[in-house]
C-alpha cells in the first residue's frame, strides 16, 4: 500500500511524485490515459509532460484508480475544472487526506478546491498545497517553499511532515480560503501581465498591473472568510511574483500570446481564463470592484480587443490609492 497517491500525471503531479518518492515516501502516480501509463512504465519518465526528469525506481505508475485510492493521502493534481469529476470516480474512503494541488474556482459552483472536495467527499480531510513553484524545479530538487493549508490542525501537521523534503519547505496555514484565493486570483493577474507585455505596453505597465491586481486580490478576499494578510504570503504575493514575470508560467505565456494577437497553444491548461470568468460573476454579485479581472474575462472571451481593454482601464475615474 502506498503512503501517497498522486492523481493526475501532468507536469506538476509528476514532479511531486518524483520529489516525494526520491525522499523515501511510497508513492503511486495515477494517469487516466492508458497509453501514457504504458509509456511512463516502459521509459520511467513522463516524456509528454515532464521530459528530462527520470522516475525513481520506487515510484509506481498505474492507470487503475481503484489501486490508487488505497493510499491514506491523495494529492489531487488535475485541472480545477476536472476536480469534481475525478472525485466522483475516486469515492475516497472516510478519513482520507485529500490535498488539492490545483488552483482556480469551479465554474459550475463558484467553489474553490477544498469546497469541491468537501462537497464530493464529506468524510475526507481536505487540504490545499499551493504557492510559487514550477514543476521542473520541484522535479530537479531545487529549493522550493509552498503553503500547505488545512483547517484540521492535527491533519495539517501530519501532512506537513509527510510532504516536506529537505528541499521542499512547507509552511502550514489554517486559512484554507485565503490560500486558495491567492493561488486562483494570481493566475488572472498573470494573464493580464502577459497581455500587457505581449501588446508592447512595457514593463512599467506590467508593474502597475501586478500592483493593482494584487489590490483586487485583497479586496476580493475581504468579502470572504479569508484573512487578507494570507495573500501577502507564498500562496498570494509569492505565487503572483513568479507567475506574472516568467514565460515558464502557462498563464503569463498565454497572456503574451493574446497580447501579440497569436493563438494560444492547444491542450495547455490555463486556469486563469476560467477563474477570471467565475470571479467576475462572484465579484458582481458581491458588489466588489474588480476592473482588471473583468477586462481579462472580456479579452479571453473575445468580447473586446486588448487595446480596447487597456483604454477602458485607463479611462476609469481618478482615485486615491
Active site residues: 186
Residues with Cβ < 8 Å from 267, sequence gap 6 or more? none
Contact 5, 64 (CB under 8 A): no
Contact 145, 234 (CB under 8 A): yes
Contact 26, 58 (CB under 8 A): yes
List the alpha helices (DSSP H) in 227-270.
239-243, 250-259
3-state secondary structure (DSSP) of residue 5: strand
Say what angle helices 306-314 and 176-198 make with each other, to 10 degrees: 110
**How far is residue 178's CA from residue 174's CA, in Å, rounded to a whole number?**
9
Amino acid at each position: 500500500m502506498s503512503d501517497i497517491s498522486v492523481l493526475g500525471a501532468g507536469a506538476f503531479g509528476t514532479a511531486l511524485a518524483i520529489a516525494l518518492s526520491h525522499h523515501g515516501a511510497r508513492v503511486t502516480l495515477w494517469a487516466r490515459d492508458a497509453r501514457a501509463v504504458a509509456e511512463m512504465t516502459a521509459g520511467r519518465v513522463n516524456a509528454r509532460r515532464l521530459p528530462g526528469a527520470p522516475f525513481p525506481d520506487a515510484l509506481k505508475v498505474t492507470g487503475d484508480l481503484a489501486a490508487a485510492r488505497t493510499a491514506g493521502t491523495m494529492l489531487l493534481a488535475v485541472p480545477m475544472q476536472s476536480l469534481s469529476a475525478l472525485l466522483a470516480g475516486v469515492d475516497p474512503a472516510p478519513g482520507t487526506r485529500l490535498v488539492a494541488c490545483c488552483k482556480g474556482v469551479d465554474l459550475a459552483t463558484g467553489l474553490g478546491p477544498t469546497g469541491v472536495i468537501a462537497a464530493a467527499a464529506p468524510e475526507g480531510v481536505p487540504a490545499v498545497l499551493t504557492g510559487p513553484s514550477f514543476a521542473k524545479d520541484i522535479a530537479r530538487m531545487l529549493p522550493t517553499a509552498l503553503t500547505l493549508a488545512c483547517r484540521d490542525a492535527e491533519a495539517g501537521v501530519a501532512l506537513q511532515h509527510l510532504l516536506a523534503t529537505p528541499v521542499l519547505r512547507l509552511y502550514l496555514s489554517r486559512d484554507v480560503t485565503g490560500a486558495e484565493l491567492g493561488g486562483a486570483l494570481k493566475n488572472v493577474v498573470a494573464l493580464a501581465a502577459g497581455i500587457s507585455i505581449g501588446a508592447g505596453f512595457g514593463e512599467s505597465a506590467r508593474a502597475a498591473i501586478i500592483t493593482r491586481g494584487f489590490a483586487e486580490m485583497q479586496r476580493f478576499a475581504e468579502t470572504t472568510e479569508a484573512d487578507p494578510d494570507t495573500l501577502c504570503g507564498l500562496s498570494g504575493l509569492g505565487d503572483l511574483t513568479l507567475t506574472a514575470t516568467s514565460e515558464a508560467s502557462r498563464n503569463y505565456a498565454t497572456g503574451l500570446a493574446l497580447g501579440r494577437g497569436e493563438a494560444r497553444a492547444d491542450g495547455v491548461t490555463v486556469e486563469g481564463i476560467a477563474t477570471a470568468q467565475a470571479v467576475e460573476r462572484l465579484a458582481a454579485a458581491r458588489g466588489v470592484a474588480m476592473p482588471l479581472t473583468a477586462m481579462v474575462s472580456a479579452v479571453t472571451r473575445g468580447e473586446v480587443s486588448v487595446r480596447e481593454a487597456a483604454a477602458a482601464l485607463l479611462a476609469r475615474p481618478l482615485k486615491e490609492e
